[in-house]
């Protein structure tokens, strides 16, 4: 009789890993909020979460990775949303939908995401990682824009990276505005205002 784990065992193992990762993340963020990012050590995070330091490093390469882990999927989500938009949709509308995906998640879970966003923007090491991610997102969005338009529409290849850069500048500006001002509107309302300003340039160049 085979003793190999079946699909259910695999699913349970995955759930356990997710629970541990979530506990480590929540514990780390609470410590960062109370003591400041630089003052918290990996040992403190592991101890507070009730796991060993070795276990911590099975899930995260560093304490920075605890904070920026949710950034990893943002670029993929943006590109997937852009790819799913109708081909005939104006570029400004398609890009607005794309960058709105992570902003909607931030707005829906503000009590959890706002402290993380503030931490990232105010901590040099984390801000550097955030900007690295944004550079990758620009390439991903530009690649999707180029595929949507085709090479004949832009032989010089200028429009895709410029349009992606404009969209991500709006995204970054909105995120900073939302995090700095407690009275700022919902991030989706802010990004809509930003794209109202960008739309003429995005759509005129995208024709």
pLDDT confidence band for 29 (50 / 70 / 90): confident
Q: What is the mean pLDDT of residues 159-188?
A: 91
Confidence of residue 151 (pLDDT cuts 50, 70, 90): low
Q: Which domains does the chain have, with CATH numbers?
A: 7-60 (1.10.10.60), 68-205 (1.10.357.10)
pLDDT tens readout for residues 35-52 = 888 899 999 999 999 999
Query: How would residue 3 be classed by pLDDT, with cut points 50, 70 and 90?
Result: very low
Q: What is the mean pLDDT of residues 178-187?
A: 82
Q: Which residues contact 63 (CB under 8 A, 6 or more apart)?
A: 28, 37, 40, 41, 42, 45
Average pLDDT score over residue span 140-146: 92
pLDDT at 6: 47
DSSP string, 153-167: G-TT--HHHHHHHHH
pTM: 0.79
Q: What b/e string do you get for 112-139 counting C-beta neighbours within 10 Å, with b at 16 or more?
A: ebbebbebbeebeebeebbeeebeebbe
144: confidence class by pLDDT, cuts 50, 70, 90: very high
Question: Is 70 exceeded by the pLDDT of residue 28?
Answer: yes
């Amino acid at each position: 009789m085979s003793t190999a784990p079946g699909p259910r065992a695999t699913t349970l193992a995955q759930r356990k890993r997710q629970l541990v990762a979530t506990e480590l993340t929540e514990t780390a963020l609470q410590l960062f909020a109370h003591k400041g990012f630089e003052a918290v050590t990996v040992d403190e995070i592991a101890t507070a979460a009730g796991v060993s330091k070795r276990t911590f490093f099975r899930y995260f390469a560093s304490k920075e990775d605890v904070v920026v882990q949710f950034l990893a999927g943002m670029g993929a989500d943006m590109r997937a949303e852009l790819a799913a938009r109708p081909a005939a949709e104006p570029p400004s509308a398609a890009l607005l939908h794309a960058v709105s995906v992570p902003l909607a998640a931030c707005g829906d879970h503000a009590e959890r995401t706002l402290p993380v966003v503030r931490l990232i923007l105010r901590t040099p090491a984390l801000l550097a990682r955030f900007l690295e991610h944004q550079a990758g997102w620009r390439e991903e969005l530009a690649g999707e824009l180029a595929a949507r338009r085709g090479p004949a529409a832009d032989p010089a290849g200028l429009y895709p990276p410029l349009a992606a850069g404009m969209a991500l500048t709006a995204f970054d500006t909105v995120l900073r505005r939302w995090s700095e001002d407690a009275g700022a509107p919902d991030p989706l309302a802010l990004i809509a205002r930003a794209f109202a300003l960008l739309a003429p340039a995005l759509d005129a160049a995208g024709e």
